């Protein structure tokens, strides 16, 4: 089954859109990590004490939710990175471009200001 990327040509604006999504996910991930940092815990710190009771010095519920969001965001980020990689390969290997992106064989994906 052919992928959506290979069935049609990838445009510069599609790649830039994917890159913007990636940046948003990275910012979201940083914000979520700051939540953990504010509670002075990481992704692997135990949420129970020595007697297997929930720790009373942290908001266990918030930490669990935040960790879950971090894991989902990391998975989303990995997926978007894979899509960007495939799109870039398709973009630079596709036949002659009808867009004014390429001049003398050089292509640029820098956002226009």
Q: What is the chain's Cα-based Rg?
A: 21
Residue 112 vs residue 74, higher pLDDT? 74
Which helix (H) or strand (E) segment holds residue 77: the answer is helix 60-93
What pLDDT score was predicted for residue 41? 95
103 φ, ψ (degrees, to nearest 5): -130, 120
18 φ, ψ (degrees, to nearest 5): -65, -40
**pLDDT tens digits along 23-35:** 999 999 999 999 9
Share of the chain above pLDDT 70, in %: 76
User: Half-sphere exposure (CA, 13 Å, Cβ side) for 71?
Assistant: 9
What pLDDT score was predicted for residue 6? 45
The mean of the pLDDT values for the chain is: 85
Q: Output b/e per residue, 23-32; b: 16+ Cβ within 10 A.
A: eebeebbeeb
What pLDDT score was predicted for residue 10? 86
């Amino acid at each position: 089954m052919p992928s959506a990327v290979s069935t049609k040509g990838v445009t510069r604006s599609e790649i830039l859109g994917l890159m913007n999504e990636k940046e948003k996910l990275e910012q979201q991930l940083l914000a979520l990590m700051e939540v953990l940092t504010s509670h002075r815990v990481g992704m692997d710190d135990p949420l129970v004490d020595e007697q297997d009771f929930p720790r009373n010095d942290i908001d266990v519920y918030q930490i669990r939710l935040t960790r879950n969001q971090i894991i989902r965001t990391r998975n989303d980020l990995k997926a978007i990175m894979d899509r960007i990689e495939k799109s870039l390969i398709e973009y630079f290997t596709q036949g002659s471009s009808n867009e004014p992106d390429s001049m003398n064989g050089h292509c640029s994906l820098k956002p226009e200001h």
